[in-house]
Amino acid sequence: MSLENVEIETPENFDFLSVIHSHPWAWLEPFDWDEEKKELRRIERFQDGKVVKLLITQKGDKLIVKVDGNSEATEIRARVRWMFRMDDDLSEFYEVCSHNHKLAPAIGKGRILRSSTIFEDIVKTLCTTNLRWRQIVPMVARLVTQLGTPIARKPEYHAFPTPAQIAGVDEEFLRKKIKMGYRADYILEFARNVKDGKFDPNKLRFMGSEDAYKTLKSIKGVGAFSSAYILMLLGHYDYIPVDGYAKSFVSNEFYDGKEVDSKEIYEIFNSYGKWKALAFWFYEGR
């Protein structure tokens, strides 16, 4: 039987639009954000192999998930709660924010949208390295539409490909058809390692930040920036994702335009302790 609506109660200080705009995942397939309707579409493949379309909006203190297809409400709730970080306790972060006027606007925010699987988050992070956004969006779309499972009777909608689906093609396919460039090697090796059981992304959920950071850096193609970025998606904020934008922001905000490196960035945000990366991410002016 097809479900029409699944309702999920939101935690205190939950800001739906802040999660959507927290970073660009909502604009990468199989997500699709409708700014006018304030509705997030997600094509999701569930454990039984079924692929459905989820339409997610907020109404009062609940998320309303309209489901186009057959799936279990329990699994839908679990996946949406994970993507929207609804079980994250950010009360301590909000207390930190309350003592800094530059971070006060972050109270009620702090949740960064993530994919329904850690595998997808890692692959997407690898896709975003050293590319402009106008290149990233179509590349991820090609990956999804050419390798992901479509909705039955709606072949225009595809879920994110599984490790087996990516591992089932060769590097030339990823380079020429998906146009991944050098990233093809990294993503193919990662997908094959996950498929073969050599790497289990789900184990990252249960690691501390230091162990998770080391584990992520062991993945071919995942460097310091990507590891810190993925850690934020996992809910660890001890490592700041330092790139050119971060250096420019901190230089202009704190150092009168002088050149900075990772050391200077950490010196500014170390006072926020285990929340340093989240404080950096939501600092006023970014």
We find that the CATH architecture of domain 118-234 is Orthogonal Bundle (1.10)
Q: How confident is the model at residue 284 (pLDDT cuts 50, 70, 90)?
A: low
Mean pLDDT on 31-50 = 95
Say if residue 105 is preceded by a cis peptide, omega within 30 of 0: no
Place of tokens 């709730």: 77
Q: How many residues does the chain have?
A: 286
Q: How confident is the model at residue 1 (pLDDT cuts 50, 70, 90)?
A: very low
Greatest CA separation for the chain: 61
Residue 213: pLDDT above 60? yes
Global model pTM greater than 0.75? yes
Mean pLDDT on 251-270 = 95
Counting Cα atoms < 13 Å in the Cβ hemisphere of 122 gives 31
List the domain boundaries for the chain: 5-87, 118-234, 244-281
Question: Which SS3 state, helix, strand or coil, does residue 58 take?
Answer: strand
Model pLDDT for residues 79-95, shown as the tens digit of each residue = 999 999 999 999 999 99
Residue 171: pLDDT above 80? yes
Mean pLDDT on 10-19 = 92
Task: For Cα atoms 14, 52, 46, give the angle at the middle one, nearest 5 degrees.
Answer: 80
Q: How confident is the model at residue 2 (pLDDT cuts 50, 70, 90)?
A: low
Q: Which residue has the higher pLDDT, 106 or 198?
A: 198
Asked if the 5-87 domain carries CATH number 3.60.20.10, the reply is no
| Mean pLDDT of the chain, nearest integer | 94
Judge if 5-87 and 118-234 fold alike in CATH terms: no
In the prediction, which pLDDT does 3 show? Answer: 56
Counting Cα atoms < 13 Å in the Cβ hemisphere of 27 gives 12
Model pLDDT for residues 54-76, shown as the tens digit of each residue = 999 999 999 999 998 777 889 99
In the prediction, which pLDDT does 286 show? Answer: 52
Residues 251, 256, 259, 264, CA torsion sign: negative
